[in-house]
Amino acid sequence: MLGFVGDLGNGLLFFLSRIFGLGADQVQVTPPTTAPSSSSSPACSTSSPPWTRIICAPEEVRVTNLSHFTAVLLFALFASTVFGITQRENPRRMFRYGLYCFSLFVASAIVISWLMF
């Protein structure tokens, strides 16, 4: 019951922030446009210790775009792992029940997406 009340409160805060325009609309990650020059800072010189030169290296940004189906598969994997561990006592039965839950999650996602198509 307490979790349900917490979910309602969280949802209410979300909708209030959307109504009043609080928070960011979307988060966009972009790679840096230029790498820092080695002459701009004395810490970036080649005579400085190696642990200080690490901060001068250009930063690499990786963006992973998951499809909806991949997100469903990840959710099914994590949820079925938790269900298998918490609902059975024997490790063999845990694995079988987790596999059963995973197959039900994936099958229901495919069937529901086919019906919505």
Q: Using one digit for the tens of pLDDT, what is the confidence trace for 41-97? A: 555 555 655 555 455 555 566 667 778 888 899 999 999 999 999 999 999 999 999
Say if pTM beats, i.e. exceeds, 0.75: no
In a domain, 20, yes or no: no
Q: Which residues have C-beta within 8 Å of that of residue 105, sequence separation ≥ 6?
A: 72, 75, 76, 79, 80
Residue 112's Cβ-count burial label (10 Å; 0-12, 13-18, 19+) is exposed
Q: pLDDT at residue 103 above 90?
A: yes
Q: What angle do CA 30, 43, 60 make, to 5 degrees?
A: 20
Confidence of residue 104 (pLDDT cuts 50, 70, 90): very high
Average of pLDDT values for 11-18? Answer: 72
Strands (E), the chain: none
**Which pLDDT score is estimated for 80?**
94
In a domain, 72, yes or no: yes
Report yes or no on 12 lying in a domain. no
Q: Is there a domain that residue 76 lies in?
A: yes
**pLDDT on residue 23:** 62
Q: Please state the domain count of the chain.
A: 1
| Average pLDDT along the chain | 75
Phi and psi torsions of 29, nearest 5°: -105, 125
Tell me whether residue 73 is in a domain.
yes
Structural domain containing residue 99: 65-117
Query: Does residue 88 lie within any of the structural domains?
Result: yes
Nearest by Cα to 98 from 81, 79, 73, 76:
81
